[in-house]
Amino acid sequence: MAKFKVVITDLGYQSYQPEKDELAKVDAEVVLAECSTEQEVAQACKDADGVITRAAPVGADAIGQMEKCRVISRYGVGVDNVDIPAATAKGIVVANVRDYYNEEVSDHALALLLACVRRISSRDRQVRAGMWDIGAKEPIYRIAGKTLGLIGYGAIARTLHRKVKGFNLAEVLVYDPYVPAEQIAPAGAKSVELDELLNRSDYISIHAPLTDSTRHMIGEKQFEMMKPTAILVNTSRGPLVDPDALYNALKNGQIASAGIDVYEPEPPQKDCKLFELDNVVLTDHAGWYSEESQLALQQLAARNVALVLSGREPLYCVNPEVIKKQ
């Protein structure tokens, strides 16, 4: 019989051998569950020593019923499906996985931006419909000489910044209240307030975390500040942008177009109003994905658990105050 039990709350990968290989090192059995409600999580994880979760709701009630759990590790950076205060109060380490997809998400943000700038999706549809020489019907503007605004300046935004340096942009503006201006300037960008970034940027790419203070940080008021030729890209979290305000801004020409990989809610409903529009490029929260990043994600999520169960700190800890008390 294995020394530990680790439950994976909800599935989405073809194989879980990477997790099993990592956790076998600490003699842990991996149990695959398929939970969609908090009560199902509570039942599956009641006697678990460790939990790995994707999107299943690991709320206060489920955490309260965990009898011996020592660690909850989430696939990915965001932990908004885990009740951090409840886990902390119970002495459970919460871990996530960072930096495994910086290249992929920055690639995706750049791909969405280029698709919007060059109107790839709409041109594709029109050519297939027999149109040609579309030209002035959909004017396209060169990238060189334009201004890029980055909302958030963490690892992904910095990677994107590195990649766009060859486009001969006039300026890169950064809004991030947690990164000092003296750390931004050496990278060749300028630290500004959000309103200035929105007013001046031709392209805006969002790379902020989802918190109570950032939810719908881009709404009706913010769209009114943007240029009518502006392009918005969101590969971070859907609720950072008010979906109704986004739809209205695109439909009414307040901004030119948008590239969207994340939604509120996810997946988008069949009647999602963005589906009506030609000036938006949509993908299925795929920015994180490559074969390499998925393998790293699975391995590192499991490694967090293995480390805690063996008495060590996880690679990435969300609530370090728990570790300090141990």
Clarify whether 266 is annotated catalytic: yes
Nearest to 2 by CA among 33, 19, 25: 25
Lookup result for tokens 């942008």: 241
Which listed residue (266, 276, 292, 312) is catalytic?
266
Kindly give, in sequence order, each residue whose CB lies less than 8 Å from that of residue 12, ignoring residues fewer than 6 positions away.
54
H or E element, residue 127: helix 120-128
Clarify whether 22 is annotated catalytic: no
Neighbours of 30 (CB within 10 A): 22
* 39 and 50 Cβ atoms separated by less than 8 Å: no
What are 207's two structure tokens?
């790379």
Which listed residue (103, 196, 285, 313) is catalytic?
285
* Angle, alpha carbons 303-179-169 (nearest 5°): 105
- DSSP secondary structure code for residue 239 in this structure: G
Question: What does the alpha-carbon distance between residue 51 and residue 2 come to, in Å, rounded to a whole number?
Answer: 16
Clarify whether 161 is annotated catalytic: no
Q: What is the DSSP string of 78-126?
A: --TTB-HHHHHHTT-EEE---SSSHHHHHHHHHHHHHHHHTTHHHHHHH
Which listed residue (74, 119, 237, 303) is catalytic?
237
Question: What does the alpha-carbon distance between residue 201 and residue 16 come to, in Å, rounded to a whole number?
Answer: 43
Q: What count of Cα atoms within 13 Å lies in the side-chain half-sphere of residue 86?
A: 17
Give me the count of residues in the chain. 326
CA distances from 264 to 85, 246, 259, 260, 301 (A): 24, 11, 15, 11, 25
* Angle, alpha carbons 175-177-179 (nearest 5°): 90
Active centre residues (catalytic): 237, 266, 285
